[in-house]
Amino acid sequence: MRDSQDQLPNPSHSESRLFEAALDASSNGVVITDNLLPDQPIIYCNRAFEQLTGYDRDEIIGHNCRFLQSGDRDQDARSEIREAIENGKNCQVEIRNYKKNGEMIWNELMISPVTNNEGQITHFIGIQNDVSRRKAAETELAKEKEYLEERVVERTRDLELSEAYQASIIETIRESLVVLDKEMKVLSVNEHFCKFFKLKSKEIIGQVLFSIGDNGQWDIPELKDLLLKILPHNNPFEGFELENEFPRIGRKLLVLNARQVMLKGKYQERILLAIEDITERREIEQRKEDFISIASHEMKTPLTSIKGNIQLLERKAQRNNDSEYMVGFTKAAKSIERLERLIDDLLDVSKIQSGKIEFHFTDFQFDDLVTEAVSGVQAATQTHKLNITGSSNTEIAGDYGRLEQVLINLLNNAVKYSPSADEVKIHISRVSDYVKVAITDSGVGIHQRDHKRIFERFYRAEQITEKFPGVGIGLYVSSQIIKEHKGTLWVESEEGKGSVFNFTIPIKKK
């Protein structure tokens, strides 16, 4: 220490102590190198420098500063320092230094030359500052920034992709799509819309929907009703049927789904309109109905012949008391009856589908209808006893024949699906403004999932298809008939425990 101090410029002894104390109080590391000695050794360091590097002054004094970089010699900062020293200039660099324990620190180093009276550079003073934390924060920040930039690029690409993807979905759909603003102006349409209606998108975009095309082809009262009256209260609205004559494409039957966007923001209140053309489908359905209708009619001719011949033979066998043939004729008569019912049901389905079924309403006592239907079915049933309880004592308005058909269907089902039982219960009641019938069997029952579906056309519950023959139209026809009477038909059932089929019919208002 004394030696090194001796080499410092020549202050008085007490001043020198003061300088030393001041330097030791600094939190910056300070070193002085001798530029006149070979390899510019360090001739002074303060306490902060010791703390900064982890070396004792004994290990520092006499060394060239390069030991601080340890093996990390290939730094740009080093050449900057070298240049400054060679040219006797100030310089400020950030350089990686290594503490005695090997830990890297970022050193913000300032170097200033000290010149003597002859202009000779005698010393360099180095001021060191540990900026590792700041550097780390900077690096972290730079990384974060880089990461964020990457994410932005990625998200943008994702969005572009997703937009392109969604647009391609919309363009691929074989259904017309229109987007409207709340004033019913067309904002966009998909390609199918233009193709289908034979319109160019420039003819449409920006126009009020009802005014597009030529001759007001889109000025359709039903469409206005849907968008202006129905949609505001029923959003979204699905399955709106519309038939209209379009000049470029002719008469079309369309099904519309409309939805007003409720999300807050850019898209709020926009209206999405999907248009499906069902013209052809309806025609095919119609042809199918016609086919069923004609086929059923044609089946009746041979059936008439079979039925007549069987009944005639039965009559003759009866006259001759020929009991052997009688059994066969009775069986044949039953099959014929079943075939007749099937054909009738098929015809009914086709008529219901095309809305051509006719109902002839008259007034009658509801209990009489039930009693007559039950005794009719009882006459043909040996295996089960049909027991009626309750009564309504009420007159209703309905189609007697059709309601009888429903009852016969439900009673026959109750018998058919309870092969090991011997009773079917029928309960008549009056509930509020309705008459009600409940037909209870203790048969195979119906799984919960099928309670609604069994009333669909051609639907048959899974567990019965193998064991019981049938085509799945009886309940469909029945439910349609009850619906026509403004009543409801439903089932309560548990698999394995039997079923209760109920229907209600509103009582005639006096």
Partner 1 sequence: MSAKILVCDDEQEILDITQMILEDAGFEVTAVIDSLKVEKLIEEQKPDILLIDLWMPGMSGDQVIKSLRLNIKINHTPIVVISASRDGKEIALAAGADDFLEKPYDIDILIDTVKKNLSKPLSA
Q: 3-state class of 57 per DSSP? A: helix
CB of 198 to partner 1, least distance (A): 41
The alpha-helical segments, DSSP class H, found in 257-399 are: 279-319, 323-353, 366-379
The neighbouring-strand residues paired with 272 are 179, 259
> Which residue in the block uniquely carries the two structure tokens 């090997």?
102
Decide: is 187 part of the binding site for partner 1 (CB under 8 A): no
> Which residue in the block uniquely carries the two structure tokens 């008459």?
435
CB of 336 to partner 1, least distance (A): 7
Q: Which of 307, 430, 453, 457 binds partner 1 (CB under 8 A)?
A: 307
Q: 3-state class of 457 per DSSP? A: coil
Site string for partner 1, 204-243 (x = CB under 8 A): ----------------------------------------
Give the pair of three-digit tokens for residue 105. Answer: 């620190």
Instruction: Enumerate residues 6+ apart whose C-beta is below 8 A from 152.
Output: none
Cβ proximity to partner 1: between 50 and 399 the closer is 399
- In whole angstroms, what separates CA 117 from the centre of its chain? 87
Stretch that binds partner 1, among 102-110, 158-166, 232-240, 298-306 (CB under 8 A): 298-306
Decide: is 309 part of the binding site for partner 1 (CB under 8 A): yes
**Closest listed residue to residue 475, CA positions, set 463, 485, 460:** 460
Q: What is the distance between the alpha carbons of residues 421 and 411, in angstroms, rounded to a whole number?
A: 14
- In whole angstroms, what separates CA 81 from the centre of its chain? 66
Stretch that binds partner 1, among 197-205, 258-266, 302-310, 321-329 (CB under 8 A): 302-310
Q: 3-state class of 186 per DSSP? A: strand
Q: Which of 131, 303, 342, 500 binds partner 1 (CB under 8 A)?
A: 303
Q: Which of 10, 12, 215, 301 binds partner 1 (CB under 8 A)?
A: 301
Site string for partner 1, 382-411 (x = CB under 8 A): ------------------------------
CB of 450 to partner 1, least distance (A): 31
Cβ proximity to partner 1: between 183 and 358 the closer is 358
Give the pair of three-digit tokens for residue 489. Answer: 């038909």
Stretch that binds partner 1, among 115-123, 234-242, 296-304, 413-421 (CB under 8 A): 296-304
**Closest listed residue to residue 191, CA positions, set 209, 204, 177, 203:** 177
Torsion of CA 467, 471, 474, 477, to 10 degrees: 160
Max Cα distance, the chain (Å): 160
CB of 400 to partner 1, least distance (A): 15
Q: What is the total count of residues that contact partner 1 (CB under 8 A)?
A: 19
CB of 295 to partner 1, least distance (A): 12
Decide: is 305 part of the binding site for partner 1 (CB under 8 A): yes
- In whole angstroms, what separates CA 12 from the centre of its chain? 88
Q: Which of 315, 338, 385, 452 binds partner 1 (CB under 8 A)?
A: 315
Site string for partner 1, 325-364 (x = CB under 8 A): -----------x---x------x----------x------
Q: What is the distance between the alpha carbons of residues 278 and 444, in angstroms, rounded to a whole number?
A: 40
What's the chain's Rg over C-alpha atoms? 50
CB of 275 to partner 1, least distance (A): 36
Cβ proximity to partner 1: between 143 and 297 the closer is 297
CB of 483 to partner 1, least distance (A): 20
Assess whether the previous peptide bond of 221 is cis (omega < 30° from 0): no
Distances (CA, A) of 200 to 72, 158, 170, 244: 71, 31, 17, 20
* 122, 112 contact by CB (below 8 A): no
CB of 297 to partner 1, least distance (A): 5
Burial class (CB in 10 A: 0-12, 13-18, 19+), 58: exposed
CB of 405 to partner 1, least distance (A): 12
Q: Which of the residues 103 through 122 are near partner 1 (CB under 8 A)?
A: none
Stretch that binds partner 1, among 13-21, 304-312, 386-394, 463-471 (CB under 8 A): 304-312
CB of 356 to partner 1, least distance (A): 8
Stretch that binds partner 1, among 140-148, 203-211, 276-284, 306-314 (CB under 8 A): 306-314
Cβ proximity to partner 1: between 402 and 436 the closer is 402
Cα atoms in the Cβ-side hemisphere of radius 13 Å centred on 349? 23
- In whole angstroms, what separates CA 32 from the centre of its chain? 74
Q: What is the distance between the alpha carbons of residues 443 and 411, in angstroms, rounded to a whole number?
A: 12
Stretch that binds partner 1, among 106-114, 237-245, 300-308, 427-435 (CB under 8 A): 300-308
Stretch that binds partner 1, among 115-123, 269-277, 310-318, 413-421 (CB under 8 A): 310-318
DSSP percent split of the chain into helix, strand, coil, nearest 5: 45, 25, 30
Q: What is the distance between the alpha carbons of residues 400 and 371, in angstroms, rounded to a whole number?
A: 12
CB of 345 to partner 1, least distance (A): 13
Q: Which of the residues 264 through 293 are near partner 1 (CB under 8 A)?
A: none
Q: Contact residues for partner 1 (CB under 8 A)?
A: 297, 300-309, 311-312, 315-316, 336, 340, 347, 358
